[in-house]
């Protein structure tokens, strides 16, 4: 699998990420959109962020590769930007939620064995 360099702008900073080429990147609806739409500036107001994220998610809603993009963002995990229709805060909440599930299961198992 060839290696591909892609530029990202987490928090407004330029970062080069080298990763194996993923075919779905080439099919993404966001490919021709400005990265600033998906990665906000560091001192963005809450209102500006919500408007920008809403516009980005609308692009994700019509994207043919939304599901693999979303899975990538949750698996990697991508801490910045809008990926597969998910925002930084929604992915963070999903990770917290899934991290809590095992502890609940362990508690249930302990209760049953007592």
- Residues annotated as binding site? 30, 60, 63, 69
Distance CA 8, CA 17 (A): 7
Q: Dig out the tokens for 80 from the structure.
A: 């910045």
Distance CA 34, CA 67 (A): 21
Distance CA 16, CA 6 (A): 6
Binding-site residue numbers for [4Fe-4S] cluster are 30, 60, 63, 69
């Amino acid at each position: 699998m060839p290696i591909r360099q892609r530029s990202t702008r987490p928090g407004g900073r330029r970062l080069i990420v080298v990763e194996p080429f993923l075919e779905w990147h080439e099919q993404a609806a966001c490919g021709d959109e400005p990265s600033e739409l998906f990665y906000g500036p560091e001192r963005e107001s809450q209102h500006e962020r919500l408007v920008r994220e809403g516009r980005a998610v609308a692009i994700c809603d019509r994207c043919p590769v939304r599901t693999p993009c979303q899975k990538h963002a949750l698996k990697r995990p991508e801490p910045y930007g809008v990926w597969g229709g998910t925002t930084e805060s929604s992915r963070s909440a999903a990770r917290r939620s899934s991290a809590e599930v095992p502890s609940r299961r362990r508690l249930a198992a302990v209760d049953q064995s007592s």
